[in-house]
Amino acid sequence: MTFENAVEAAEFISSKYPHPVRTAIVLGSGLGAFADELESFLSELPVGPQYAVELRDPELLGERYERALAATGAVHCASVHSRMPPVDEQVSDTGRGPLLIRWMLGAGDDYESASARFSPFDTRARPDELNRNRVTGMILKALSSERDVHVVAANNAEGSAPLTVRALAETLVQRSTARDW
């Protein structure tokens, strides 16, 4: 995506959405000198929105990636995904900006097999307590620092996105009541 494409996309979204855009997500996978290109790309974007980057290639994580985010004020969008390291170990510092988490796939899963197994997505067919606890810990830590938190769950995470979010909310209530964070 070129800078011109990004500007065009931002203008299109702004024309359709009556409220100020505060967050944008840039998805990237397998780019060459990724951290340098990412920093250059992010530094050219219009000032205002909070930009976030979600990765699907674990080899792109690391100090250079984190420096690129810090230099541009962007944040990492943590992802529970079968190709990624544990959600709470992807970056060393998530202490600034909003906490963004996408809960996508469990360990060893791919979209096609998870979709086939979980359809019609009306039950938590494979509860993932380990990732629920990791996500809960991240949320509680962010909230204790008065950071905004946004979590998106996919049907392919446990079998039903709405039921995954409900179970996450119940875990948050239990742990925050017990001050288990």
Q: pLDDT tier at 29 (50, 70, 90 boundaries)?
A: very low
Output the pLDDT for position 118: 94
Least confident segment among 31-40, 95-104, 145-154: 31-40
Whether 147 has a pLDDT exceeding 50, the answer reads yes
The predicted model gives 70-93 an average pLDDT of: 93
Domain ranges of the chain: 3-177
Level-2 CATH architecture, domain 3-177: Alpha-Beta Barrel (3.20)
Query: How confident is the prediction for the chain on average, in pLDDT?
Result: 87
Structure tokens at 3: 């800078």
**Spatial contact of 77 and 54, defined as CB atoms under 8 Å apart:** yes
Whether 93 has a pLDDT exceeding 80, the answer reads no
Give the residue with greater pLDDT, 3 vs 143. 143
The predicted model gives 52-68 an average pLDDT of: 91
Please choose, from the candidates 2, 85, 7, 71, the residue with its C-alpha nearest in 3D space to the C-alpha of residue 35. Answer: 71
| CA dist list (Å): 17 to 10, 13, 22 | 10, 6, 12
Tokens 């909230």, located at residue: 143
3-state secondary structure the chain: CCHHHHHHHHHHHHHHCCCCCCEEEEEECCCCCHHHHHHHHHHHCCCCCEEEEEECCHHHCCHHHHHHHHHHCCEEEEEECCCCCCHHHCCCCCCCCCEEEEECCCCCCCHHHHHHHHCCCCCCCCCCHHHHHHHHHHHHHHHHCCCCEEEEECHHHHCCHHHHHHHHHHHHHHHHHCCCC
| CA dist list (Å): 128 to 55, 97, 107, 154, 157 | 21, 27, 9, 13, 8
What's the CA gap between 101 and 94, in Å, rounded? 11
